[in-house]
Amino acid sequence: MVTFRALPPLLSLARITAALGAAAWLLAGCHAPLPPAGSLAAPRAADAWVLSPRWSPDGTRIAYLTAHGDALAVNLASADGAPIREVRPPERLADPFVCRPGTGLCGPDAPAWLPGSLALIVPQASWSTETTPPSVVTGLSLLDPRGGLRRVAWADPEARDRLLRARTPAVSPDGRHIAFVSEGLDGTCAVTVAPLARVTEEPPRPLADPGLDADWPSWSPRGGLLAYRRRVLKAPGAVPSETLRVIQPGGARARTVAVLRDGAATTASAAPSGDVCPRGARIARPTWSPDAAWIAFEVWPNETPARQAAVWLVPADGSSAPRRLSPPDGATYRQPTLRSGGVVLALRSAAGRTTVVRFAPAGRPPAARALVALPGNDADWSPDGKRLAVVRVAPQPAARPLSVVTVP
């Protein structure tokens, strides 16, 4: 016979309810209903900035950050941009030197969704006493719908003088692994792939990259492959090579599909042994097509995505040379996305105005066609490539800081 006389009835009921709720959350893949709404996800102070929107994999919600001084809050909005609730109140979640509100440079440090759930990967900062003076170490934590945090990536204690910040999280489509970038104060960067389920005291090890200069991890649609940019130094004192790599994490597949030479991209086989690129040039933001056959990417003429970035397209198997899609018209082309049938869309910014442009499908002469104007340039594509979540220009203190724009 079961009795609850050992515990007060209300306390027993509360514990049973909590246990059942936790079990339901785990069994349902974190599909717990949202708790009652707290404050709206709009900025709560005149100096707060809204930034870094990110669509959920199912296209039903948008996560974004609001910056309050050196603290960040994590917020949710519906698919039409209406605020739902603040899921994490303002706190020191990220190093303010990494995340610069109002500049558009916070994108890589935005929340990343865990597929099939309401959980998010968010930046979280702590102080390291292993450096002199003490430094802010930015890690990544899993934020569940009820507000709890679980650390999933952090600084390597054996290299704390180099790799102090974990950023740019990318969760595999099956939700089992996370790829992220560890960044050092000296500018070194390494891409790391780690399981999300396994909790150990040892930090995950970066992929073997000569010179620790890698960035922008991007999973293929089914998660078997990972694309990222890598700069290779073949010999001391040599000019480094900027490359786009595709690997099979934990497997044998690894291929260089593009090499940046004199500001233009070529295949690895076509690049001569002395391939060079401008010292500041970068490959950025590789994006897969729905069938994983193509990768669109950006080429920056310098180390920051400030001006005149270009959009390129390459077969994911490296079977033919990359081709530039955007014209050299002085505008900045960025954030490409690929639709079924080989259609490539991107954002074009010039003279303070941002528009969506459409490029001809692969195999046809490149031609850009303007589709729709945007109210800002901090944006994210929906999973189907048909909508954009856009932060309005100077959104504070608007109650609807996000716009959702449908792209034909």
**Domain residue ranges of the chain, discontinuous segments joined by +:** 220-374
Residues with Cβ within 8 Å of residue 16, at least 6 apart in sequence: none
- The structure tokens listed for 81 are 């941009």
Report the distance separating Cα 155 and Cα 7, nearest Å.
44
The contacts of residue 170 (CB under 8 Å, 6+ apart) are 112, 178, 179, 180, 217, 218, 219
User: How much is the average pLDDT of 111-136?
Assistant: 77
Q: Where are the beta strands (DSSP E) in 82-148?
A: 83-91, 112-113, 120-128, 135-143
User: Residue 28 has what pLDDT?
Assistant: 30
pLDDT at 115: 92
Residue 309 pLDDT > 60: yes
Say what the pLDDT of residue 203 is. 62
Give the whole-number percent of the chain exceeding pLDDT 90: 28
Closest by CA to 112, choosing from 184, 62, 49, is 62
Range with the lowest mean pLDDT among 63-67, 102-106, 355-359, 379-383?
Answer: 102-106
Query: How sure is the predictor about 278, in pLDDT bands with cuts at 50, 70 and 90?
Result: low
- Is residue 151 pLDDT above 70, yes or no? yes
Longest dimension (CA), the chain: 81
- The dihedral through the CA atoms of 258, 260, 266, 270 has a sign that is negative
State the pLDDT at residue 312. Answer: 92
Distance CA 283, CA 312 (A): 10
Q: Which of 272, 334, 347 is nearest to 306 (CA)?
A: 334
Q: Is a pLDDT exceeding 50 seen at residue 242?
A: yes
pLDDT greater than 60 at residue 87: yes
DSSP 213: B
| Alpha-carbon span 158 to 147, nearest angstrom | 31
Pick the CATH number of 220-374 from 2.40.50.180, 2.40.70.10, 1.20.1280.50, 2.130.10.120: 2.130.10.120
**Would you say residue 2 has pLDDT above 50?**
no
Across the range 316-326, mean pLDDT stands at 91
Per the prediction, the chain carries an average pLDDT of 74
The total number of residues written for the chain in this structure? 408
Predicted local confidence at residue 330, as pLDDT: 87
pLDDT beyond 60 at 78: yes
**Chain Cα centroid distance, residue 162:** 22
Which span out of 126-130, 278-282, 380-384 was modeled with the highest average pLDDT?
380-384
- pLDDT (average), residues 32-46: 38
What was the pLDDT predicted at 102?
A: 37
Asked if 282 and 244 touch (Cβ cutoff 8 Å), the reply is no
Kindly report the pTM of this predicted structure. 0.80
From the number of C-beta atoms within 10 Å of its C-beta (0-12, 13-18, 19+), residue 406 rates as exposed
pLDDT in tens, 4-28: 223 233 333 333 333 333 333 222 3
Of 100-104, 158-162, 176-180, highest mean pLDDT: 176-180
Answer whether 178's CB lies under 8 Å from 172's CB.
yes
- Among 167-181, 295-309, 383-397, the range with the most confident prediction by mean pLDDT is 167-181
pLDDT in tens, 339-360: 988 889 999 999 889 999 998 6
For residues 254-261, average pLDDT:
87
> What are 199-236's pLDDT values in tens digits?
555 566 777 655 678 889 999 999 999 999 998 776 66
pLDDT bucket at 376, cuts 50 / 70 / 90:
confident
Q: Distances in Å between the alpha carbon of 105 and those of 19, 108, 345, 350?
A: 41, 8, 21, 18
- Which pLDDT tens digit goes with each residue over 279-298? 668 899 999 999 999 999 99
- 3-state class (DSSP) for residue 22: helix
